Structure 1
């Protein structure tokens, strides 16, 4: 089945590298890549008469930049079934992304985070935190700025959960798709911080994951005597894992990773690409 991938660009080399990464990630999958540039021209009260000219200039710059990207893609031959469409919008990034998701039924949004690590904590009030918080009904794959090449083998995705909440199959579909596309294993990680046995409900939710992941390679793992964030970091580093998948529930496990209230307590900036799964109605 063809995938629809949305990639915002600001015409930097990092945005271009994100696009190249996406082409390799979906090297063997038919895809339409939607390349989005969102631009804004603020209205200055004293210069209203010049606003139309500024708007036209910004629009032309956006469209020309997107055309240059298409020209650069003509030299790449990852997959003849890859198609490209450009979107230029005079909107803020969140509005432009949400519009594209709704209009084109996007399967995944790819973005790059500034710096060596992926900063996904809303306490730091960065662009990545804002868009992953506000854009609904679509998963994100967030890449570190200094992204690594995809490993040739031993690819694995760490998926932490405390089993307290049930998942819908469609909420983990992007994780399953990624595992299939990459021929990667899913390592389901439970951080046992209180030493209590799983409740009946937790056991049921764990069993449901077995059903969802039946077509991919997966395994269950448990760490004790550690916090969620420290345990995840240690697990990824000890296994040299390639990806991290987080389920972003509006209320529940890991919601604190995206909460202003935990600004001082949380230091969660993985060095691997992070797949953010969203809670769906």
Structure 2
């Protein structure tokens, strides 16, 4: 089945890198990559729109946007790597989040991929975090953040850490992006339960854990538990101790995701900004 992947771009090198990584990641899949540039939009993509603003100062914002997308297409034409991949460009005037959400709903996007530069790839509740704004507000579609200069190569030793409290069951569709990522990278999924109160699982949690095991049965996975620690510290220590390559988070409003990155606990969080993060979304 064809995958539809949306990549917002501001024509920067880290977004180009994310596109190349995405093409490699889905090299066995027929894919349409939609390259979206949002112009006249404050923050993130809009603020560094043109490659050569001085040379193009007479051009309108739309012309600059379209020329930038044209340059990307010309760069891709030289690669000609995969006959299964096709590319389309979208120049959108307006708000960044609205532009992304509109494409998700109109085109049936399966995954949004964000290229991140340095510290901007951190996931937090900070209101000035541009990446976090997208991961928090975009709905009904998973988001994968790929930091600059981070390559993802298929390896049986690759680990994806997936924290869960087993309190609410997952829908199969909500885990599709995680399963695909694990299969594409030949990676193992380590499901991490933070037992802060050192209590046994309830019967409902045990049932949800068993359901999750069934959903993950086609990939290599294992369950892990940490006790007497907070979710933020526990996830940090687990990633650090195992040198895991990817963090996967499930975002449900008022759920584990929001608590893990609650603003009052921001100082507890110090994930490696070079760590890719897959944000899974709740589907209604």
TM over 0.5: yes
**C-alpha separation in 1, matches of 2:236 and 2:265:** 18
- Structure 2 counterpart of 1:73: 76
CA contact (8 A) 2:14 2:147 kept: no
CA–CA separation in structure 1 for the residues paired with 2:180 and 2:208: 20
Structure 2: where are the runs of 5+ without partners? 43-56
1:79: Cα distance to partner? 1.9
Q: Which residue of the partner structure matches residue 258 of structure 2?
A: 255
RMSD, aligned α-carbons: 2.1
Task: Provide closer, same or farther for how the CA distance between residues 182 and 151 of structure 1 changes in structure 2, counting only shifts above 3 A.
Answer: closer
1:161 is aligned to 2:161: no
Task: Work out whether residues 195 and 227 of structure 2, in 8 Å CA contact, stay in contact via their aligned partners in 1.
Answer: yes
Normalised by the length of structure 1, the TM-score is 0.89
Preserved CA contact (<8 Å) 2:152 2:185: no
Matches of 1:84 and 1:195, distance apart in 2: 50
The residue correspondences of 1:178-257 to structure 2 (distance < 5 A) are: 178-257=181-260
TM (norm. structure 2) is: 0.88
Q: In the alignment, which of 62, 69, 89 is matched to residue 86 of structure 1?
A: 89
Equivalent of 2:112 in 109, 113, 117: 109
2:283 aligns with: 280
Q: Supply the distance in 2 between the matched residues of 1:177 and 1:85 (Cα, whole angstroms).
A: 23
The question of 1:144 aligning with 2:147 is answered yes
- Post-superposition offset of 1:114: 3.0
User: Structure 1: 5+ residue runs without aligned partners?
Assistant: 43-52
Is 1:15 equivalent to 2:15 in the alignment? yes
Counterpart CA distance in 1 for 2:226 and 2:41 is: 50
- Deviation, 1:252, is 1.8
- Secondary structure of 1:122's counterpart equals coil
Q: How far did 1:226 drift?
A: 2.2
Q: Which residue of 2 aligns with 1:39?
A: 39
Secondary structure in structure 2 of the residue aligned to 1:271: coil
Question: Retained in 1: the 8 A contact 2:154–2:186?
Answer: no
